[in-house]
Structure 1
């Protein structure tokens, strides 16, 4: 089917008490693997690209790959701009055909974040495309943005932020971080419940690579409707290639590396979808 927006899949997840898995993809193989996992589990799915991935491959190239694969799929597939770093990039993604965009103004102060998020939300609304924003700081490193995980989202600020910007989903900071965790993360899961009481739009959890299944499940129970996975997919893809070269050092065909990479990513994505509870939830 053609690409769909994230609006219905996140609304359904909110109603159904599960979360949609959102997976960062870097190449054709990862796109195929994520969609194959979604088809096998009959799950709705979001594929995402960050600014550094776009710089590597362009918005148009990723759109073409994902749109071609989505067309063959029997499940809803959404293409999302993850951590959009500017109003300009968000607009370029809309023009390229992305069906969901994120504007990350979390490095700005509260008013600055509201201003840029509203600007993107207004532009996207005119095209019928949903917008995710981030309030509070999710620590670790995402592309070139680095943050300390020390600014958890304030529920009342979240309420005001959503009312003033018109965004359709909100990434919240509860102690997660981008990348792999060095120690054991301490999540303020109660904060998800507090935000959920005052914010009606779907909530998003970033930095889920490396969290325990139980922690992800509890966050979903408390109101998270979308969970992002990036770092662990990259690691799974690359580790599979390394293992093949270790076992068969004379491997030179990139397709052989792609095949093992796809298998590793597909298996991981299926595990994560089951944890999010979105398996069997495709229309």
Structure 2
């Protein structure tokens, strides 16, 4: 099966009460862990590359890794650009074969965000590619995205209809309390997503796919493994998964997951090297990291996204 766009994928997710996982990829082992999990659970899948991933692996390597994934399974797979900073980056990804791109002009004034997103949408649509944009600003740090918590801004539901109509984008990332990185909240707090904002957005954009960024839950079992093997992540905590599952039952059709994969890979490698200090073969310790990534993706598909079995629907 060739790479697909997210159009039909999101239509099924919206009406089926589930979301599709958008998992960030950086190297071969992460791609393998994600795809093996999705294939075994028969889940549709979005593989996405950030600016940091494209710098690290290069666009050429990433595209060939994703192409290998496509050839290894028959589940539908989207190749998506995460947080495209400007028109040129989005254009380069469209031209290189991405089937979906995100233009993140959320840090610009409203009218400039519209103009930039519209330009990307027009070019992408002319080349058979779909576009995600963002309205509102998430806090946190991830690759080239760095927004202080006092600069974060919830999405204004009163702006979403005008934004979508004027830009022509295909999906919209909104800010309802999620955050990039591992340190979303401190232990002992009671984090809550603004599901009321999500409901208001859905009323103004009926049957329109909504996206949540910064939605890793930072599983404490992996934080514990890292800490027990030389790490220092005692205060890391993420988004409650029951709230994400609730969002996935509504208008949210795409949930981004990156930090959890990084934690899983790191936990697997740290644990292996602590238990086997004489090992020097990367296939041994990175293989354990890949196994942890696969375990995390299976959990997300089954318990958060609800997308298991939907690849054949």
Cα deviation, residue 258, structure 1: 2.4
1:268 matches 2:270: no
Could you say what secondary structure the match of 1:282 adopts?
A: helix
Q: Which digits, 9 at most, give the CA deviation of each residue in 1:31-55, with x for residues without a partner? A: 0110101111000000111001101
2:261 is matched with: 233
| Distance (Å, rounded) in 1 between the aligned partners of 2:148 and 2:248 | 24
The aligned counterpart of 1:194 is 200
2:261 is paired with a residue of what secondary structure?
helix
State the partner residue of 2:5: 5
Structure 1 residue 182: Cα displacement: 3.0
Counterpart Cα distance in 2 of 1:221 and 1:249? 45
4+ residue segments displaced more than 3 Å: none
Contact 2:19 2:255 in 1 (8 A): yes
TM-score normalised to the size of structure 2? 0.88
Deviation readout 1:120-147 (Å, 9 max, x if unpaired)? 1000000111100010001111222222
Alignment match, 2:236 = none
Give unpaired runs (5+ residues) of structure 1: none
Which whole-Å CA distance do the structure 2 matches of 1:161 and 1:57 have between them? 34
Residue 282 of structure 1 corresponds to which residue in structure 2?
Answer: 311
Equivalent residues in 2 for 1:123-272, closer than 5 Å: 123-149=123-149, 150-180=152-182, 181-183=184-186, 184=189, 185-200=191-206, 201-210=208-217, 211-272=239-300
Cα deviation code 1:155-205 (max 9, x no counterpart): 120111000000000000001101122324331111111100111420001
CA distance in 2: counterparts of 1:221 and 1:36, whole angstroms:
25
Aligned partners of 1:253 and 1:89: how far apart in 2?
Answer: 36
Number of residues of Structure 1 aligned to a counterpart in Structure 2:
283
Q: Deviations over 1:4-49 (max 9, x none)?
A: 1111111110121110011011101100110101111000000111
* Aligned 8 A contact 2:19 2:249 in 1: no
| 138-147 vs 203-212, greater mean Cα deviation | 138-147
Counting only pairs closer than 5 Å after superposition, residues 41-120 of structure 1 correspond to structure 2 as 41-120=41-120
Contact 1:137 1:148 in 2 (8 A): no
How far apart, CA to CA, are the structure 1 residues paired with 2:133 and 2:114? 9
Aligned equivalent of 2:225:
none
The residue that corresponds to 2:228 in the other structure is: none
Contact 2:21 2:254 in 1 (8 A): yes
In structure 1, how many angstroms separate the alpha carbons of the residues matched to 2:268 and 2:28? 16
Q: Deviations over 1:54-90 (max 9, x none)?
A: 0111112101111111122121111110011111111
Report the alpha carbon displacement of residue 222 of structure 1 after superposing the two structures with TM: 3.1
TM-score, with structure 1 as normaliser: 0.97
Residues 154, 175 of structure 2: 8 Å contact kept = yes
Structure 2 CA distance for aligned equivalents of residues 188 and 235 of structure 1? 26
Q: Equivalents in 2 of 1:160, 1:7: separation in Å?
A: 21
